[in-house]
Chains A and B, each alone.
Chain A
Amino acid sequence: MTTTLLLEQIFNGLQAGITLFLIAAGLTLILGIMDFVFLAHGSQVMIGAYAASAVTIATNNFYFGILAAIPITFICGYLLEWLIIRHLYKRDHMDQVLATFGLILFFNEVIRISFGPAALFSNFPPSLSGFIQILPGTPYPVFRILVILVGLACAVAIHLFVSRTRVGAMVRAGASNPEMTAALGINIKILFRFIFAAGATFAGLAGMMIGPLTSVEPGMGEPLLILSLVVIIIGGIGSVRGAFIAAIIIGLVDTIGRVMLPMVFRIFMSGPTADTAGPALASMSVYILMAVVLVFKPTGLFPPKGA
């Protein structure tokens, strides 16, 4: 394992982590602040990816695709909250699980009916297909660097919004005591709706960015949903800062573990055994990490204050 390879893997881990953060940021607020168990967040990723790919195919312009997909995902999130989610806040968590699991099936089927069961074509434009030498002799795809930068920009924007703006203060107030916040004359219902729609948009943005890298197909968001739930548990439910740090940790552990563990196993095992045991342990690594965190810090690494 050379240093250049390690550096490259760190970039890969960062990129994976940043994508997870975009999904987890909204979800942690929905779970933590709104106290709502929402499982269909992966569908928002899929909607973002499909919206961007469909508009890109129709207009033959990648940037139009992104520009159109951002408002589409926001509107989808807004309507979803208004039509369905708001009626479920008062129900218990099991009802919420059932209803939002139903939404996953619903969204997958809607996508299958409207776009067909086959994966949709999606790729980034030639202008973004170049490479940047992160170290001499180590080319790294521009698009993946862009994913990291966009994700970091979103993280900074979310942080500034929550900690520096008036609406952000309302979000924080709503998080620690929703009844008191409402009593002070803040329309908590509208606030929740906007948090929900913003969360959906960030998840959609993650979908738009992974669409050109992976296959855009029905159900593409579910594996990411599971990982982002792990991120939220490790980071502390309701904490955006926790989600950010946990997402980066998960991204790095998963990526580097996948490549390194089989190599490490090869040192003290025969080749074929290591080739089987390594990947098996690597795919468990993030869950082992979650279990360890839960043992030592049951509320996560960065539980929000007052929670």
Chain B
Amino acid sequence: MRNKIITAIMTVGFFVNAGAVYAETIKIGYMTTLSGGAGIIGKQMKNAVELAMEHKGGKLGGMDAEVIFVDDQRKPDVAKQLANKLIKSEKVDVIGGIIWSNLMMAIHKQVTRSDTLLISSNAGPSSIAGSGCHKNFVSMSWQNDQTTEAMGQYMNTVGVKSVYAMAPNYQAGKDMISGFKRFYKGEIVREVYTKLGQTDFQAELSALRAAKPPATFIFQPGGMGINFVKQWKQAGMDDVSKLYTVFSVDGISLPALKDTALGTISTQTWSPDLDNAINKKFVADYKSKYGGYPSFYAAQAYDTILAIDYAVGQSGSKNTEKMREVLAAGDIPTTRGSLKMNTNQFPIQNFYLREVVKDSDGVVTSKIIDTVFENHGDAYVQDCKF
């Protein structure tokens, strides 16, 4: 009897394993925020991933591919649990996505040490670019400081002597200001830290009007950006100071701001009008499928799938180390052109100056007006030793 059971188990086991060998499938766990106030960001990323899978005919690098979407609810503890589930019970080959730096910090060690490839579609905290880096992590976005560095650099070139800086009172707000200071050479008149999630900035705008700075630099992501830019225009602040933004006016906030945001300047690695074949196809198909411009979050999510496709295609395998070697070598085809990779596996890429304009259909979008940095690497790369 016992022998029969053992035989039965072995037989079943053989067939299950055999099945896995014959139809090799690469499994991707895609983690983003699909519920709550930031749900719109996750929705755009999910749209972009689905579009990429459609463009690739459901196969990545010629291998059957399956994407499992999970909602981190913007909570680090939930992200940790989900990462654990993806690694241990779903046995995914790659984990992609992750919008927030604090969530990335929560799962980085756990995922990379489990020999699963981790590809960021957005978050780029400094520690994992520097001393805390790991070879199983690849960024398809940027390091957090870089976008503000580009804004600081641009403001030097246009000769802005002094600036009033404003950001929410939390870690990323302070990181953004410190990245800005690394390149900006003028004087910072004041650093104002607003409440995270603040809705009315009228009091801060009144104080700003009294201070009369020639330039104002803000980092107000998400809904705060909508509120800030709206109230800035409503208060007629354009006559008082020139506004420079990072991560405050994008494809997420523009549909709510519309004409109010026209003329607003920001720095970014991507723009819907970026002139290359992959980006043109991505933007056109995204617009026709989902009825609106994609945001940079969506572009980076799309690029994440393209990177996996490239890695599997070049290495002919879903082995973590082999895929990593391909990605580390760079020249990954993306919506930002052929993407080069630094030694810490963060991209070396261009940073553009974008302005909010109307397209030929009268829809408000962003357009590149200048290139601030060409092939810009991050400031932490020398601290990274695998």
Contacts and interface: CB of A to CB of B under 8 A. Distances in A.
B199 A279 contact: no
Interface stretch (B74-82, B98-106, B203-211): B203-211
A12 B206 contact: yes
Question: Interface size for chain A: under 10, 10 to 19, 20 to 34, or 35 or more residues?
Answer: 35 or more
Given A259-B203, A279-B193, A143 B230 contact: no
A280 interface: yes
A219 interface: yes
Interface string A14-48: 01100000000000000000000000000000000
Interface in B210-260: 210, 223, 226-227, 230-231, 234-236, 252-253, 255-258, 260
A126 to B, nearest CB: 11
A52 to B, nearest CB: 15
A143 B234 contact: yes
12 contacts: A8-B210, A9-B206, A12-B206, A16-B202, A112-B39, A119-B223, A119-B255, A123-B230, A144-B202, A214-B231, A215-B223, A262-B192
B37 A217 contact: yes
Contacts of B253: 119
B105 to A, nearest CB: 21
Question: Interface size for chain B: under 10, 10 to 19, 20 to 34, or 35 or more residues?
Answer: 35 or more
A117 B256 contact: no
A116 B190 CA distance: 38
A279 B204 CA distance: 12
B43 interface: yes
A129 interface: yes
A223 interface: yes
Interface in A272-298: 272, 275-276, 279-280, 282-283
A215 B39 CA distance: 15
Contacts of A112: 39
A177 interface: no
A214 B199 contact: yes
B194 interface: yes
Contact of A213 (B37, B40, B43, B231): B231
B314 interface: no
A122 B258 CA distance: 9
A131 interface: yes
B236 A131 contact: yes
Nearest to A262: B192
A279 B195 CA distance: 7
A206 B362 CA distance: 32
A223 B193 contact: no
A186 B230 CA distance: 49
B169 interface: yes
Interface string A251-282: 00001101100100000000110011001101
A283 B256 contact: no
A235 interface: no
Contacts of B223: 119, 215, 217
Contacts of B192: 262, 275, 279
B169 A280 contact: yes
Contacts of A255: 202-203
A12 B203 contact: yes
B255 A118 contact: yes
Contacts of B209: 5, 8
Given A4-B210, A283-B195, A218 B37 contact: yes
A102 interface: no
A131 B237 CA distance: 12
Nearest to A123: B260
Contacts of B202: 12, 15-16, 144, 213, 255
A158 B200 CA distance: 26
Contact of B227 (A4, A118, A214, A258): A214
Contacts of B64: none
A279 to B, nearest CB: 5
A13 B207 CA distance: 13
Given A131-B236, A223-B197, A215 B227 contact: yes
B359 interface: no
B187 interface: no
Nearest to B188: A271
Given A124-B234, A276-B193, 5 more contacts: A16-B200, A129-B234, A217-B256, A258-B204, A279-B195
A118 B193 contact: no
B191 interface: yes
Contacts of B193: 275-276, 279
A230 interface: no
Nearest to B168: A279
B199 A223 contact: yes
Contact of B43 (A117, A119, A210, A271): A117
Contacts of A214: 199-200, 226-227, 230-231
A265 B255 CA distance: 39
Nearest to A254: B203
A29 B199 CA distance: 26
A213 B256 contact: no
Given A141-B235, A143-B234, A258-B203, A116 B40 contact: yes
A155 interface: no
Given A5-B210, A280-B169, A216 B203 contact: no
B229 to A, nearest CB: 10
A258 B193 CA distance: 10
Contacts of B255: 118-119, 121
Contacts of B236: 131, 139, 141
Interface string A132-145: 00000001010110
Given A139-B236, A215-B223, A279-B194, A121 B203 contact: no
A120 interface: yes
B384 to A, nearest CB: 28
Nearest to B165: A275
Contacts of B36: 219
A74 B247 CA distance: 39
A139 B193 CA distance: 25
Contacts of A9: 203, 206-207
A114 interface: no
Given A141-B234, A215-B223, A259 B40 contact: no
